[in-house]
Structures are given as C-alpha cells and as structure tokens.
Amino acid sequence: MKRKTIVRLLIAVFSVSLMLQACSEGQETVDVTDVVINIKSVAMVKGETVQLRAVVKPSNATDPMIEWESVDEDVATVDNTGLVQAVGAGKTIIIARSSGLASECDVAVGDVPVDGLTLDKDVLELNLGETGALTATVTPEMAENYTVSWSSSNSKVATVDQNGMIMTLASGETVVKAECGEVLDSCYVYVMGEPQIGDYYYPDGRWYSTPITGQTPVAIIFYVGDPTEDDIALRNDHPECTNGLAVALFSEKSSVWQSKAAVYGKLISDWAKEDPEASQYIDVHQSKVGEHLNSIMGYNNTKVYELFNADPANAEWPVEAVSVIEEVREEIHLPENTSGWYIPSAKELSLMCSGEYDDNIGSMNESSLLSTPMIDNLSFLNSRIFQIPGAFLFSPDYYLSSTEADKVIQMYSTTYNQWHIKMTTGYVFNQAKTGSSQVIRPIFAF
C-alpha cells in the first residue's frame, strides 16, 4: 500500500514539472525600446539637488532596470535613484541607461549667487586724519566668486579703497557705498576736523564745515581758541571747554536788560562785591578802559546775574535778560561737554562781529573809526548761516552784552548802562539798562 502511494506522488510531481516547463517555453521576452529622462537640461548652483526620473518603454519590458551615470562627477553626481547633486561650477551630462539604450540630461552648475549685502556700520564718525574700516558681509554664506566694489560720494571728504578702508581728507560728510551685482548697502561717514570759524555745531557735540544731511545744527562757531584763559569761572566749572565759542542759530530774543535799574539805584557789581558767593567772580562792571572789557567773560557775568536774581532782596528789580537764557536752555539742549548757554560779554560780541581786534574795543566808536565798519566776521558768519534753512541771520540791531557799563550821573538823574554792539558797524556803545528791548543772541563754550 505504501509503495503505491509513493509511486503516485512521484508521478504527480513529474507531471507538474512537465506542465511548468511547457508554460515557460511558451512565454515571450519584451525588449526595452526607449529610455526617456523627464528633464532634458537643468541649471543648478553648487549644493543644490534635482531629482531626475527616467521612464523605460514599453512599460512591460522584461528587464526595466536603469543605471545612472555622471560624465563629470566634479561638476555633479547622481545616485541610483536619479538624484543629482551639484558639486562644482561647470557642465556635465547625466545619463540613464537600460538594456543598451540611453537618455541624457545636460546639467550646468554655477556658483551660488550673492542675494544680499550688509555693512557692519550705518554711520561712522571719524576725526580728520583718522582712518576707518567697513566690512561687507554677503549672503548666502556659500556664495563664491563675487566682487564687492566700493565708492565714496564725496572723495574730497574721504576716500575708500577696495578693501573698505577709509581715508579722511577734510571735514564734512560722505556716503560710502558697497555694491555686489544688484545688491548694495551704504554708510554715512562724518569727518570732524579741528574747529574753524563758520563750522556748524551739532547736538551730539560734533562740528563740520558743511551741512550734514538729515541733521540740524544748533550753533555756528565764531571763535576758535581757549576761552578759559580769560574766564576763570568757566575754567573752574568746565575745564574741558578749550576749543572755542559758538552762537545760537535758532534763538535770537529781545529783552530789556533791567527795567527797574533806576529804582534799584546801584550797579549790579556793587551788590556782587558784598555778596559772599558773587564776590568770588570777576567784576561784571567794566569801564571803557576796564581791565576785562577786552576779555571773554560772558560765562562769568551770566553766573553773577543769576545769583543776583536768586537773591530774594532783588526780587523787585531783577535782570530780565537772564530769563531769556533760561528759556533757551529749556528749548535747545546742548551736550554735557559744553558750558551751556549764556549771555555773551562785550568782547565775545565783538569777536562775533569783528573777529580779533588787537586794540581796545571800547575805543572802536571814536570818530576816527566811525566811517569804517568792522563786520568782516559777521558777514562771513551770515553767509554760512544762510545755508541752514530757518536759521536766524544776524540783524542790523543793537545786541546786548553781559558786560555792565558805567553809570552816568546827570543833573537830575543817574543812568545805569550796559554795553551793546551795533551789528551794522561792530562798534561798542553803552546804553541805558532801562531802554527799549535789545537783541540777545546766546552763546556757549565748547
């Protein structure tokens, strides 16, 4: 029984084998007739990837296997799925092969382009004679084979080389620009030289010979030198103010000096000599031949008048002109390294109008000089002020000084005077403190 079962099993296996062989001998082989890559050409940049796909025709080909190849793997590589990786600049061909047939894709790889440029500074402040440096950063980081070009909008103020190094040549402003293809960035460069008469003084404590774009100066320099040499009070309070003097561009107020001077019946200097604090200052009163009439004393004098007004005993006859300075201090703020606003002395007004005058300014109004106006400095300053929109030109009026003049005793009255300067001539005069309002043009030391 067992032998019959085994025989039957062997016969069945043999029969199935014959059937399978018969089926195999009857199946047809389907050859590949074409290979097509979905992209014929592509432009890439270094680091970029592109997925290629190849289709074998017909779709029922017996052997549809595809092999990928890059002609130049220094330009681009391709893996067995058709993923292309850009390696370096150049051109190559990606080939897809199947059953002896091939399809190609032209690949061009370029450098990564620059799409952004930024300078490390928006504003650069330099002193004349200094050098500066700007650094340009491009994006993306992998960008290659690019050139940054540099330029200065005002090469008379500063130049820039192709490494971003800046050389200062003159006081003023320029715009340094860095460009790379279609992208650029710029930096405002401000160059400050030694102060010169006519320079514009800005709220940040810097001065320039030309107006600065987008900024408004508060004053114009009218004297270059050390004002603390004359004014001991200024030297004690502000020893750093050794560069010069500047006058307000946007403040010119009118005021009577002391409307009740006659009621008070004394010189301010008489009070100051008796006051413990005010007596520490140099006398505000200077005669025509006074020791300090030809000295820079405005800061000293203004401090004395402020002390006078602060004394309750003087509440009935204050020096009204001081309130003008207090208003200006609230309206126009100055850097800490200045003296703050004060009323100019007779000498400081003379410097403003006539410049340096070696002789006694108290004698300028003598008949031998009256036909010769001394306003060269003032004319120059006005030409500079004219370049600042809205700034106040000097008017042809009498300007009040902080220097007290002699009292004039007449038969029936005594007149208390203050030194003034007539701006159309530059001559120094004394006029009554109680007279009509006169112009006060604030100044400061820096």
Count of CB atoms situated within 10 Å of the CB of 410: 7
Please name the residue that has the structure tokens 């606003």: 341
pLDDT band at 1 (very low <50, low <70, confident <90, very high): very low
User: What secondary structure does DSSP assign to 92-122, as a single string?
Assistant: EEEEEEETTEEEEEEEEEEPPPP-EEEES-S
Closest CA to 128 of 98, 162, 187, 169: 169
pLDDT at 186 over 90: yes
Task: Report domain extents, the chain.
Answer: 34-110, 116-193, 219-445
Kindly state the percentage of the chain with pLDDT values over 90: 85
In a 3-state reduction of DSSP, which class is residue 76?
Answer: strand
Contact of 389 with 364, CB cutoff 8 Å: no
Contact of 417 with 408, CB cutoff 8 Å: yes
pTM, to two decimals: 0.76
pLDDT at 21 over 70: no
The region of weakest confidence among 13-17, 153-157, 298-302, 336-340 is: 13-17
Is the domain covering 34-110 a CATH 2.60.40.1080 domain? yes
What's the average model confidence in pLDDT over 302-328? 98
Count of CB atoms situated within 10 Å of the CB of 7: 10
pLDDT at 17 over 60: no
pLDDT at 429 over 50: yes
Contact of 93 with 101, CB cutoff 8 Å: no
Class of 116-193 per CATH?
Answer: mainly beta
Residue 279 DSSP class: G
Q: Give the per-residue pLDDT at 9.
A: 53
pLDDT at 24 over 70: no
pLDDT band at 20 (very low <50, low <70, confident <90, very high): very low
- For residue range 382-395, what is the model confidence (pLDDT) as tens digits? 999 999 999 999 99
The region of weakest confidence among 37-51, 184-198, 263-277, 397-411 is: 397-411
E strands, 145-234, where?
149-152, 158-160, 165-168, 172-180, 183-192, 200-201, 207-208, 219-224
For strand 41-45 and strand 101-110, is the pairing parallel, antiparallel, or unpaired? Answer: parallel
Count of CB atoms situated within 10 Å of the CB of 434: 18
- For residue range 346-363, what is the model confidence (pLDDT) as tens digits? 999 999 999 999 899 988
The mean predicted confidence, pLDDT, of the chain is 92
User: What secondary structure does DSSP assign to 295-344, as a single string?
Assistant: S--HHHHHHHHHHHHHSGGGTTS--THHHHHHHHHHHS---TTS---B--
Q: Give the per-residue pLDDT at 408.
A: 86
The region of weakest confidence among 114-118, 340-344, 413-417 is: 413-417
- For residue range 63-75, what is the model confidence (pLDDT) as tens digits? 899 999 999 999 9
pLDDT at 244 over 50: yes
Q: Check if 34-110 and 116-193 are the same fold.
A: yes
What's the average model confidence in pLDDT over 399-407? 96
| d(C-alpha 400, C-alpha 214), whole Å | 33
